[in-house]
Amino acid sequence: MHDAHYKALSEETPPESIGDPFPPKPRTDNDERAKLDGFERGRNDGLDPGIRVPTGAPAPLPKALSRLLVATGKRLATLTIVIVAVLVAIVTWQSYVLGPWTRNGSVRVQVANIAPQVSGQIVELHVRDNQYVKRGDLLYVIDPYDFEVALQVSKAQVTQAAADLELKDVESKRRQSLSNLVVSKEEQQIYAASAAAAKAVFDASQQRQAKAEQDLKRTRIVSPVTGYVTNLLLRLGDFAVAGNSNISVIDSESFWIDGYFEETKMSRICINDRVEARLMGYSAPITGRVETVTRGISVSNATAGVQGLPNVDPIYTWVRLAQRVPVRIAIDEVPAGVPLVSGMTATVTVRQPDDDGSSPLLDRLYANVAGSLSSLIDGPPPSRPDCLPVATSQTAPSETLPIPTEPPKESPRQIAPGIAPGLNASPKVAE
């Protein structure tokens, strides 16, 4: 009974629809015709008869044409990559060889090496290492006692010489006013010479006094520039020797950058060209301009040998290294947060007049590629006219240090009044 029931169900329901809640729709004659039409189109297009093309989809290309297009695309892509790589290599090589840039740059500065003008023990020290000082600030003091004593002695000698001059001058004038019957010519000459000698002694004593006053002032050593005390090894109690430098101050207003460019790049460097310098460890560039170009570097073959004859190196290598020429860069602007330290390494790039960054990027790339190809074919471009003028336009700075001047001199009568008030007057000596 169960077998008969199962057979009846299988005849009424297809096997694939048993247990399927969504049975497939029955196929119609239209679906069969659309399928056959697609099959016929595939055969007419030259495709594999086994490929069934859905109705309404675009017909695929033949296999041979597809393979040709793919192979052509790969070759074009490879050729494009090779051309771009060659252009990039040419531009990079030309920029490296002929471009006015160098990684061999350094920050430079002027340093004031201060030496005392008098000798003595240091009794006061007013600075520390790396301290910022201004021009005229006190650095240290030398023991002034000996110089104060020397000044008092010189003042006493001036007073003595003034009194002697006053007396001998009056004596000479008195002899000169007498007649030949009272005093002889010889006596008049003797007193006149004595007065002249006293005048010379008085003048010399005044000069010694001025020197003693200056020596006393020189015991106080001040900074001649505004900047930073560097490498301070001086200590309280050290003995300062006249003429021996014992303290150095970096002039903070004298920084510049030296760029050592290869001689193959000098044709593209001109006075007043804009310069960018990047210090190692800092991305923000220091801007400046080309100030001067060194006109001479050392030549080993110019060294004099035996008997003063030139010593020429007989070895001449096939590969010649380009000499490096120092170029002085004046600093115009330093970015915030970038310190200037003498000796720091800098990458220096000299910008050309047409490289101001205002033109579009594509124009700059085209000009760079065209210029590199032209340099490769025709050689380096010629230098601009009046690039390095014969006569420099900059002037030397007019900085001066204070120079001691001779103090106003006093007359003997002002120094020693009352010694000889007149030819016939009695002296008035102060008690």
Residue 295 above 60 pLDDT? yes
C-alpha span between 380 and 265 (Å, rounded): 9
Tokens (6 digits) for 379: 């050689």
Does residue 225 sit in the same domain as residue 154? yes
Average pLDDT, the chain: 80
pLDDT per position as a tens digit, 124-139: 999 999 999 999 999 9
Helix (H, G, I), strand (E, B) or coil at 278: strand
pLDDT of residue 179: 78
Does residue 127 sit in the same domain as residue 39? no
Does residue 154 sit in the same domain as residue 224? yes
Does residue 55 sit in the same domain as residue 118? no
The answer to whether position 369 is within a domain reads: no
The answer to whether position 212 is within a domain reads: yes
Answer with the one of 219, 246, 273 that is the final residue of a domain: 246
Q: Could you tell me the end-to-end alpha-carbon distance of the chain, in angstroms, rounded to an integer?
A: 169
Does residue 127 sit in the same domain as residue 235? yes
For residue 126, give its domain range.
113-246
The answer to whether position 152 is within a domain reads: yes
Of the pLDDT bands very low, low, confident and very high (cuts 50, 70, 90), residue 428 is: low
Answer with the one of 42, 60, 78 that is the final residue of a domain: 60
Tokens (6 digits) for 33: 């015709």
The answer to whether position 141 is within a domain reads: yes
The answer to whether position 361 is within a domain reads: no
Residue 37 above 60 pLDDT? no
pLDDT of residue 216: 96
Does residue 139 sit in the same domain as residue 228? yes
pLDDT of residue 112: 95
Does residue 162 sit in the same domain as residue 55? no
Does residue 48 sit in the same domain as residue 159? no
For position 149, which CATH number holds? 2.40.50.100
Does residue 43 sit in the same domain as residue 137? no
Does residue 237 sit in the same domain as residue 152? yes
Tokens (6 digits) for 241: 């020797």
Helix (H, G, I), strand (E, B) or coil at 226: coil
DSSP 225: S
Does residue 163 sit in the same domain as residue 232? yes
Does residue 43 sit in the same domain as residue 156? no
pLDDT per position as a tens digit, 180-236: 777 788 888 888 888 889 899 999 999 999 999 999 999 999 999 999 999 999 999
C-alpha span between 175 and 191 (Å, rounded): 7
The answer to whether position 355 is within a domain reads: no
pTM beyond cutoff 0.85: no
Answer with the one of 227, 246, 265 that is the final residue of a domain: 246
Of the pLDDT bands very low, low, confident and very high (cuts 50, 70, 90), residue 35 is: low
C-alpha span between 50 and 39 (Å, rounded): 8
Tokens (6 digits) for 282: 């800092």
Number of domains in the chain: 2
Q: Point out which residues pair with 249 in neighbouring strands.
A: 112, 229
The answer to whether position 221 is within a domain reads: yes
On the CB side of 191, CA atoms within 13 Å amount to 18
Of the pLDDT bands very low, low, confident and very high (cuts 50, 70, 90), residue 108 is: very high
pLDDT of residue 13: 47
C-alpha span between 324 and 122 (Å, rounded): 46
The answer to whether position 297 is within a domain reads: no
The letter for the amino acid at 201 is V
pLDDT per position as a tens digit, 71-85: 888 889 998 998 888
